[in-house]
Structure 1
Amino acid sequence: MKATQNPPTTGMVTPADLLRMAALYLRRHGWHQGTYYAPTTDILTPPACAVGAIGMACAGHRVEHFYGLDPATQVTFRQIVGILTVYLDATAPVFFIDEDGYLLDEHTSPYSWNDDPTRTAEQVITALEAAADEWDRLHTAGGENR
């Protein structure tokens, strides 16, 4: 680097950053169950579910379905939802067993987890932040990416 060049002042946005942005979105704009976003057309930043908040963090706008995103953002969105799913599998596993005793689903869906009638906004926000902390713990060393 030449002495006249300015070094970059921002780092790469990590999955942990996006999870924290989703948590912050919920704190600022509210939490919702049943669909990605509360049904409203007059608010650009409606209350959102956990995955809807991840969509806002990744794309900067409502994400009605990840297929509507550009390819790079779609990959990022799916990666972040996957990281939350892995975290939920480790900390809040939900197993669906059919009437014959067979395991139907071995992964905790962030959709059904978010929509559990006993779920609270604070639990969702805490899970997003904890998943971010876990990602940082596994992927950074001394504040730097591994």
Structure 2
Amino acid sequence: MKATHNPPTPAQVTPADLLRMAALYLRRHGWHQGTYYAPTNTPTATPPACAAGAIGIAAAGHRVEHFSQLDPDALGDYLAALGAFVDYLDTTEPLFLIDEDGYLIDEHTSPYSWNDSPGRTCEQVITALETAADEWDHLHTTGGETR
């Protein structure tokens, strides 16, 4: 490398990037309900995953059994992407949990219960991840540059 050569600066991965990677993962490896990853007869690095599991794989670059296993940078990226997904679900498909006395338990849509909802399809999950990514870009970038 010459003294005047400047190595490229790594691009910042955004929540939108991770949401798109999660959608692509589901397209390639399959979708699952009930747990982060579908049980398989043989160990695999790329099992079918739920929306949150696919976001986790996108953030870590590999399968993790629990997201507390992520290193701090990957955990921050995972939480930011999951938060962007929840923000999208809150505006498009709000699901509020009310206890038996009529009190609000959770004001945010759970990506886990949304993913596991009976009748949910793989294509709905993939579309939601991609649309959430587009929404994040719309809210946080101007002309391709992060605001």
Q: Give the TM-score normalised by the residue count of structure 1.
A: 0.91
User: 1:11 aligns to what?
Assistant: 11
User: 2:24 aligns to what?
Assistant: 24
User: 2:37 aligns to what?
Assistant: 37
**RMSD of equivalent CA atoms:** 1.8
Q: Report Cα offsets for 1:15-67 as digits up to 9, x if no partner.
A: 11111000000000000000000012422100000000001100011122111
User: 2:130 aligns to what?
Assistant: 129
User: 2:102 aligns to what?
Assistant: 101
When structure 1 is superposed on structure 2, of 27-36 and 6-15 the one drifting more is: 6-15
When structure 1 is superposed on structure 2, of 67-76 and 49-58 the one drifting more is: 67-76
Q: Secondary structure at the match of 1:64?
A: coil
CA distance in 1, matches of 2:34, 2:112: 8
Amino acid of the structure 1 residue aligned with 2:137: D
CA distance in 2, matches of 1:67, 1:16: 22
User: 1:50 aligns to what?
Assistant: 51
When structure 1 is superposed on structure 2, of 37-46 and 121-130 the one drifting more is: 37-46
User: 2:63 aligns to what?
Assistant: 62
User: 1:87 aligns to what?
Assistant: 88
Q: Secondary structure at the match of 2:105?
A: strand
- Shift, 1:6, TM fit: 4.6
**Cα distance 1:10–1:68, how it changes in 2: closer, same or farther (>3 A)?**
closer
When structure 1 is superposed on structure 2, of 116-125 and 6-15 the one drifting more is: 6-15
Deviation above 4 Å: which 4+ runs of structure 1?
Answer: none
Identical positions, percent: 74
Pair 1:143 & 2:144 matched: yes
Aligned pair count? 145
Amino acid of the structure 2 residue aligned with 1:98: D
When structure 1 is superposed on structure 2, of 10-19 and 59-68 the one drifting more is: 10-19
Q: Give the TM-score normalised by the residue count of structure 2.
A: 0.91
Amino acid of the structure 1 residue aligned with 2:134: D
CA distance in 1, matches of 2:7, 2:142: 22
**Cα distance 1:106–1:51, how it changes in 2: closer, same or farther (>3 A)?**
same
